[in-house]
Structure 1
Amino acid sequence: MSLNTKVDFNNDNNQWIIKPIGEIDIYTSSVFKEEIVSAFEERKADLVIEGEHLEYIDSTGLGALISVLKMLQETEFKIYIDNIKPNIRKLFDITELDKLFVIRGEGDE
């Protein structure tokens, strides 16, 4: 499977909405990260990863998210991960990344 990422700016909330559709893996994680970094450099704001259509993420995908998190730690902005599927939430729990990221809306189907 592949990855299609929609990146839009929400002026009302002053935040980027990033919607990954598909899988973030070794083949797609670098492009995913580049799209997020490019958007953030264009306009500094909070990032919301809308995970409703994210089917799978591997260690390289998690690495891309950690890299973006480190970039944001130098600013006052935050990264939020919304509405991820239970299997992906479990991965965040096992790796204890749920302690680093603000994860919202899991289980709200």
Structure 2
Amino acid sequence: MSLVINKNFNNDKNVWNIELKGEIDIYTANELKKVLIEVVSINPQDIILNASELEYIDSTGLGVLIGVLKRLRQQGKDIHIIEAKKNVKKLFNITGLDKIFKVEG
């Protein structure tokens, strides 16, 4: 399966809204990295990742998210992961990354 990434900046709330659809794995992680680094470079603000249609994420994808979070934290910003499916949420819980990222809903 592939990965579809929709991004837009919400000027009212001053956040990036990014919707993920598909799978993040060794084959698609670079695509995600490219998009996230681009938005952080353009305007380093909080990122809200809507994971409602994210079917799967592996360690490569988690590594990308951690790398981008490190960049954002230097600016005092965060990554919020919302509406994640049970299997994705479970991965964040098992790895302890639910304590680093704001996993909501």
After TM superposition, the score normalised by the length of structure 1 is 0.93
Structure 2-normalised TM-score? 0.96
**Identity among equivalent pairs (%):** 47
The match for 1:60 is: 60
* One-letter amino acid of the structure 1 residue matched with residue 11 of structure 2: N
**Regions of 4+ moved over 4 Å:** none
Gaps of 5+ in 1: none
**In the alignment, residue 48 of structure 1 is paired with which amino acid?**
I
> Residue 30 of structure 2: SS of its match in structure 1?
helix
Structural RMSD (CA): 0.7
1:59-89 deviation digits (Å, cap 9, x = unpaired): 1011111111111121111111101001111
Which letter does structure 2 place at the counterpart of 1:18?
I
Aligned length: 105
Residue 14 of structure 2 aligns with which residue?
A: 14
Q: Give distance in 2, aligned partners of 1:76 and 1:97.
A: 18
Would you say the 8 A contact 2:49–2:79 is kept in 1? yes
